[in-house]
Amino acid sequence: MRNLLRFIVLLLALSFSSNVSAAPKDINAADLVKLKKENNDLVIIDSRYGDSFTDVMIKGATHLDAAGTNMENLTKLAPSKNQPLVFYCVNEQCPASIKASIKASKLGYKNVYEYRGGIEDWKERNLPVTRIKDNN
């Protein structure tokens, strides 16, 4: 049911924009690991809002919450609209990464991904993280 609701929200959001290049693609942890290995210009964006942005983030990620996902901020992180962007949040129930990835698609980014499992799934798999206090 949640997946159906997410799909409907995605379709509605994309239908209101005529300049969308492509819908964000859902990926899992294994896909993200592969993207990291294959793309030196990959940008991983932690879309969590302040109250959920605690503890750790995926190693190599940058924090930009969904509200701050706009052309000015994305251009600083990814000057080329062909650069692959991966957005993630806390877990599948967190809407921030889908909101941010839809915004990036609407802004014309062509290789947009959403890692739905989020930081919880990443940590459960013991994949590399960085303590947030180390990034400040």
What letter does residue 66 receive in the DSSP assignment?
G
pLDDT at 4 over 90: no
State which fold the 2-135 domain adopts. Answer: Oxidized Rhodanese; domain 1 (3.40.250)
Q: List, for residues 31-54, the tens digit of each pLDDT value.
A: 999 999 999 999 999 999 977 788
- Residues 119-136: what's their mean pLDDT? 86
Per-domain boundaries in the chain: 2-135
pLDDT score for 136: 43
pTM value > 0.75: yes
